[in-house]
A and B are shown apart, each in its own frame.
Chain A
Amino acid sequence: SQTIHQWPATLVQPVGSPLSLECTVEGTSNPNLYWYRQAAGRGLQLLFYSVGIGQISSEVPQNLSASRPQDRQFILSSKKLLLSDSGFYLCAWGAGAPHQETQYFGPGTRLLVL
């Protein structure tokens, strides 16, 4: 069966510090991978998605970036965090037409920028 992991589970970082969140998927090959941010009362906002190694699409302009160095690894990064980057970050995978297939979510990372 497929599983998706995210770490860390919780992170407190000062403004201006770098960020690296990791997501890995097991039990499937060539998945579509997604990064979302969830803010209270505002639903899920798609940040990035990837259909293959090295292929990243950005949905919103921001100071975050994403990379996919391996088939089942998706990384969310920032060089300098802003207060507004605080939130709950979710990674998801799917196995069909991008955005059309059922997506399965990881446990999330709670990021607090102070």
Chain B
Amino acid sequence: TQLLEQSPQFLSIQEGENLTVYCNSSSVFSSLQWYRQEPGEGPVLLVTVVTGGEVKKLKRLTFQFGDARKDSSLHITAAQPGDTGLYLCAGANQAGTALIFGKGTTLSVSS
């Protein structure tokens, strides 16, 4: 069974700090998506990465897909309270039979 492990599970930081969250697996994924979810709402897509080594930037968020397409990271620069939420990664397995979700990283940014 393919698994996506996200770390850390919880992260509490002050406004202005930088942070990185990780999404790791022993399996190869054909693509990987990052979502942010706020309490009581559905996940909102942030980015999809498909090429090994790919780096995408979304304002203060930088996403990287590992060269072997087994892992990904999300780096936030100068975090703001509006970044608070649950960050989920999801990978499409190479067999094309499932989208595997990690359990998420809960980020809290206080001012």
> Which residues of A approach B to under 8 Å, CB–CB?
6, 41-44, 46, 90, 92, 97-108, 110
What's the nearest-Cβ distance from chain B to residue A81, in Å?
Answer: 21
The B interface, classified by DSSP as helix, strand, loop or mixed, is strand
Are the CB atoms of B102 and A103 closer together than 8 Å?
Answer: no
Whole-angstrom CA separation of A103 from B104 in the bound complex: 17
Are the CB atoms of A105 and B97 closer together than 8 Å?
Answer: no
Are the CB atoms of B102 and A90 closer together than 8 Å?
Answer: no
* Given known A43-B88, A43-B103, contact A102–B98 (CB-CB < 8 A): no
Are the CB atoms of B101 and A43 closer together than 8 Å?
Answer: yes
Are the CB atoms of A108 and B99 closer together than 8 Å?
Answer: no
Interface locus among B11-19, B36-44, B59-67, B75-83:
B36-44
Q: Is B28 an interface residue (CB 8 A)?
A: no
Are the CB atoms of B45 and A104 closer together than 8 Å?
Answer: yes
Chain A residues whose C-beta falls within 8 Å of the C-beta of B93 in the assembled complex? 99
Chain A to chain B contacts (Cβ below 8 Å), 20 pairs:
A41-B103, A42-B103, A43-B102, A43-B103, A43-B104, A46-B98, A90-B43, A99-B96, A99-B97, A99-B98, A99-B99, A100-B30, A100-B96, A100-B99, A102-B33, A102-B45, A103-B45, A105-B43, A108-B40, A110-B40
